[in-house]
Structure 1
Amino acid sequence: MIGINSRIVIAGAGSIGCYVGGRLASAGKAVTLLVRPRMIEGLQQNGLRITDPDGSEKLVEPGQFFLTSDPEIAFRQADIILVTVKSGATEEMAKSIRENASSDIVVVSLQNGVGNAETLRQHLHPEATVISGMVPFNVVQSEPSVTPLSVRRTMPGTILIDNTLDGLADVLSVPGLSVQAHPDMLGILWGKLLTNLNNALNALSNLPLVEQLADRSWRLLVADQLSEGLKVVRAHGITPAKVQGAPPAVLPSILRLPNLLFRIVAARMLAINPHARSSMWEDLSRGRATEIDYLQGVIIRMADEKNIAVPLTRKISACVKKVEGKPLRSHSVEDIRG
């Protein structure tokens, strides 16, 4: 039974995980961060700094959360596990949870992509409760040399979760971190995936999101890619829901507006931290594998099933794969369009 005193584990405490875990811990929740071994010493000594879009900061003291790199220790007494690993690590994390957590554990996927909850269900005990979730904001983590470790949320937004477990949203919602139950999480996840198609373009541009979207040539590229994605999901009978701001179906038209009109119509879209970039930019800049196969890759596979041409999506995916593991460089729109 979940409740106000539920023990919460952040499974994969990277940027999103540290921010969510830090917010929960600062509100007095019993939080364990499952982190990489190299992160433990710094967090134990210096705590965790969380920064909100308005620039306000809060230091979460080391004594406010528990740290471990051992899944057995993290999961054995957990009531709720929030999975925040990259999509490619979902199956491995699910197997670790099954091995170490109670069979009736509550597991919430706070990940990009549309298939992670199903992957978790496939590999967890049948008694486990798996909840789909969607985080509408990006979080940027400081460089490893920065003390204390800092995670900066770059935009507002409410985390949405499936409404199948009464009371869960209330348990997870704390000051500075709003969580709400939603009746159409499948539509929400597809809406987020379509929005996240820009993650790759933002990474390749090597520009802050505000600067990228201020440039109409980049917006036209985003709009053309989004139009391909919309065509594919519609062919599969999927109706993507509005995540925040405009519905996905009208975004291409908004993105194609001249600069003056775009700045008026998309004022909320541009009301983000001026330094904000996509999570894929962070992955490429730090030499990590990206989630391109779980974003553009999904659209490509679904397009193949319906024999739909998605040439731009394929080019963008190929560009990202070509630069993974290499020093990040700035691409132009012409580089990508070819």
Structure 2
Amino acid sequence: MTSPDAPVRITVIGAGVVGCYLGGRLARHADVTLVGRPHVLDPIRAVGLTVESGEGEGDRIHVPAEQLTLAETPESVRHADVVLVCTKARSTAAATAAFVPHLRPEAVVVGLQNGLHSTDTIRDGVDVAPVLAGIVPFNVARTGPATYRRTSAGEIVMDAHPRAAALVDVLRAADVPVRTTRDMQAVLHGKVLMNLNNAVQALSGLPLRSQLLDRDLRRCVALCQAEANRVFWAVGVVPKVPVTAPARLLPTIMRLPTPVFRTLAARVLRVDADGTSSMYDDLVRGRPTEIDVLQGEIAEMASRLGLPAPACERVVELIREAEAAGEARRRWTGRALYAELTRARRRA
């Protein structure tokens, strides 16, 4: 690592909404390099990077461009103490192959992506430095060419490891909640369980808060979560979710009448009024979604185990149809989507 007086050198691979938000928060406390595409980096070069937490003007941070290193290729990894991998799950293998020739044995790599196996994919390509799994539970929106706003709350969780200490310290100095755990598999499964909501929100087109206050849409999520819980229990994993209720009760809570749900889930509902999921953003921008590592993962695991997962399977099909339809995609009401998933279960 760096000398005690030198700032931690952090390279973000895949500087999208999450990577830019974290880079902006960390830049006052670390030497930050963002590796990304020109359409993301060029506006930052022009006006600097601004990050917001949605908690008021006092938490708005502007980082001049000259305080960041911006690059389209990952050669800067050769100087990094910490490498944060923030690419989409489908890009993990290619991104790892690109940065690993430059990786120092003294560094640590942290995967902050969706999916159960993204960090395993990084590990498959890295043999010179430790690779830790992590999750980012909050959503981030790009609200301007070089402005990124966190639209929901949550605490970053990552594998406990001695080399994680410097990153944990700098995250805390930047007021980014973080903790480490020795049960990361349970946390990763819990993140998937919570993120099954993303596809339902994307199909509805409603902002997250409005979608979560629609009981029929919550029932759709509950169908998927119930299937996921059965699959996870079958493989011996008890998911850890970032709410007070145990994972097995999430489907029951999602089915509750909205006034009761509003009371029990007050923390979950603390999201920006216009906040959306990353899957919805992908549909809007015509990009492939991460449905394969969410409902798609549940459907695949269920198939291997001989368990039914008709709701997850149908959601995968509907997201694929939405990807193909582009702007002409259907915006599903809660009633229509719940009826569609119920029919899928009856056919199974």
* Coarse TM-score class (shorter-chain normalised): over 0.9
SS at match of 1:114: coil
SS at match of 1:173: helix
Give the structure 2 partner of residue 265 of structure 1: 264
Q: CA–CA distance in 2 between the matches of 1:217 and 1:312? A: 14
Which consecutive residues of structure 2, in runs of 5 or more, have no partner in the other structure? 344-348
1:9-20 to 2 correspondences below 5 Å: 9-20=11-22
Normalising by structure 1, we get a TM-score of 0.93
**Over aligned residues, Cα RMSD in angstroms?**
1.6
Give the structure 1 partner of residue 282 of structure 2: 283
SS at match of 2:79: coil
| Residue 164 of structure 1, CA deviation | 1.8
Tell me: CA distance 1:64–1:28, structure 2 relative to 1, closer, same or farther (3 Å). farther
Q: CA–CA distance in 1 between the matches of 2:281 and 2:39? A: 19
SS at match of 2:115: coil
| Residue 11 of structure 1, CA deviation | 0.4
Which consecutive residues of structure 1, in runs of 5 or more, have no partner in the other structure? none
SS at match of 1:290: coil
Q: Within the alignment, does 1:58 sit opposite 2:25 as a pair?
A: no
Mean Cα deviation higher: 4-13 or 174-183: 174-183
Mean Cα deviation higher: 245-254 or 78-87: 245-254
Give the structure 2 partner of residue 69 of structure 1: 72
Q: CA–CA distance in 1 between the matches of 2:82 and 2:18? A: 17
| Residue 102 of structure 1, CA deviation | 2.1
Q: CA–CA distance in 1 between the matches of 2:245 and 2:151? A: 19
Contact between 2:15 and 2:40, CA under 8 Å: does it hold in 1?
A: no
Give the structure 2 partner of residue 220 of structure 1: 219
Q: Within the alignment, does 1:187 sit opposite 2:186 as a pair?
A: yes
Contact between 2:26 and 2:170, CA under 8 Å: does it hold in 1?
A: no
Contact between 1:206 and 1:329, CA under 8 Å: does it hold in 2?
A: no
Q: CA–CA distance in 2 between the matches of 1:12 and 1:273? A: 25
Contact between 2:116 and 2:188, CA under 8 Å: does it hold in 1?
A: yes
Q: Within the alignment, does 1:254 sit opposite 2:253 as a pair?
A: yes
Q: CA–CA distance in 1 between the matches of 2:70 and 2:319? A: 34
SS at match of 2:29: coil
Normalising by structure 2, we get a TM-score of 0.91
Q: Within the alignment, does 1:154 sit opposite 2:155 as a pair?
A: no
Contact between 1:9 and 1:82, CA under 8 Å: does it hold in 2?
A: yes
Q: CA–CA distance in 2 between the matches of 1:24 and 1:232? A: 38
Please identify runs of 4+ aligned residues in structure 1 that moved more than 3 A: none
Q: CA–CA distance in 1 between the matches of 2:300 and 2:258? A: 34
Q: CA–CA distance in 1 between the matches of 2:277 and 2:244? A: 18
Deviations 1:145-170 (A, max 9, x none): x44x1111011221111102252422
Q: CA–CA distance in 2 between the matches of 1:209 and 1:315? A: 21
Give the structure 1 partner of residue 296 of structure 2: 297
Give the structure 1 partner of residue 131 of structure 2: 130
Mean Cα deviation higher: 241-250 or 216-225: 241-250
| Residue 271 of structure 1, CA deviation | 1.6
Q: CA–CA distance in 2 between the matches of 1:93 and 1:117? A: 12
Deviations 1:269-304 (A, max 9, x none): 112211111110111111111111111111111101
Contact between 2:291 and 2:316, CA under 8 Å: does it hold in 1?
A: yes
State how many pairs are aligned.
331
Select the residue among 75, 80, 83 that pairs with 1:81.
83
The letter of the residue matching 2:272 is N
Give the structure 2 partner of residue 116 of structure 1: 118
Give the structure 2 partner of residue 330 of structure 1: 331
| Residue 104 of structure 1, CA deviation | 4.2
